[in-house]
A = this chain, B = another copy of it.
Amino acid sequence: MSEAKTDLRVLRTRKLIMDSFINLSGQKEFRDITVKDITEEAMINRATFYYHFEDIHDLLEKALSEVLLINLSADQFDGRTLDEQSITDMFLAITEFQQSLSNRCHRGYEETIARIIREQLETVIFQLLANGQEEKDFKEQGLKILSNMLAWGLYGASDQWKKYHFDEKPEGYIQSVIPYLVKLVKE
């Protein structure tokens, strides 16, 4: 409802911090990136960093979430529903995201990254499911459970692909997984 435009300085500073972090993560592992590194690259004061983020782990969560969400929402959000096409698009977004990160390997953060991916997936999937619902028989509780399961399943598929089918094209691999995911949706 109330829009409450946020101060341009805030938007700019957050962007500078996020961009710097993403940029640095292409050169170093997460564990080696310090707050000082980021603020120097972003040309902002260290104190300002703490005005916007609790600590560097908080930034990591938010930055990765945002990057992944941009990968996803560029296609999905506007009124589409959960079907073979949208599942494929999401799968590609995940694998691209994974690859953009694992150019550098980020030891010790595998679980964190996995959780972020699932969380973002769940958000998007829930939206897709809601778009496919009639107004009347809208069951939020059920959709939450379902989108949670689908998110785990889809992430799991990307994990399998990375481990055992890295040589295949992801577009092809996901086709063989889709039937099982669809089975969850149809009843």
Q: Which residues of A contact B (CB under 8 A)?
A: 8, 11-12, 15, 43-45
Please give the distance in Å from A19's CB to the nearest CB on chain B.
Answer: 11
In angstroms, Cα B16 to Cα A44, docked, is: 13
Find the B residue at minimum CB distance from A40.
B8
In angstroms, Cα B20 to Cα A12, docked, is: 14
How would you classify the secondary structure of chain A's contact residues: helix, strand, loop or mixed?
helix
Report B-chain residues with C-beta under 8 Å of the C-beta of A43.
8, 11-12, 15
Sampled A-B contacts (7; CB under 8 Å): A8-B43, A8-B44, A8-B45, A11-B43, A12-B43, A12-B44, A15-B43
Please give the distance in Å from A186's CB to the nearest CB on chain B.
Answer: 47
In angstroms, Cα B43 to Cα A11, docked, is: 8
Find the B residue at minimum CB distance from A15.
B43
Report B-chain residues with C-beta under 8 Å of the C-beta of A44.
8, 12
Report B-chain residues with C-beta under 8 Å of the C-beta of A12.
43-44
Report B-chain residues with C-beta under 8 Å of the C-beta of A11.
43
Find the B residue at minimum CB distance from A39.
B8
In angstroms, Cα B15 to Cα A11, docked, is: 17
In angstroms, Cα B18 to Cα A43, docked, is: 15
In angstroms, Cα B8 to Cα A12, docked, is: 15
In angstroms, Cα B12 to Cα A30, docked, is: 25
| Residue from A11, A12, A15 having most chain B Cβ neighbours under 10 A | A12
In angstroms, Cα B9 to Cα A45, docked, is: 9
Please give the distance in Å from A109's CB to the nearest CB on chain B.
Answer: 29
Find the B residue at minimum CB distance from A11.
B43
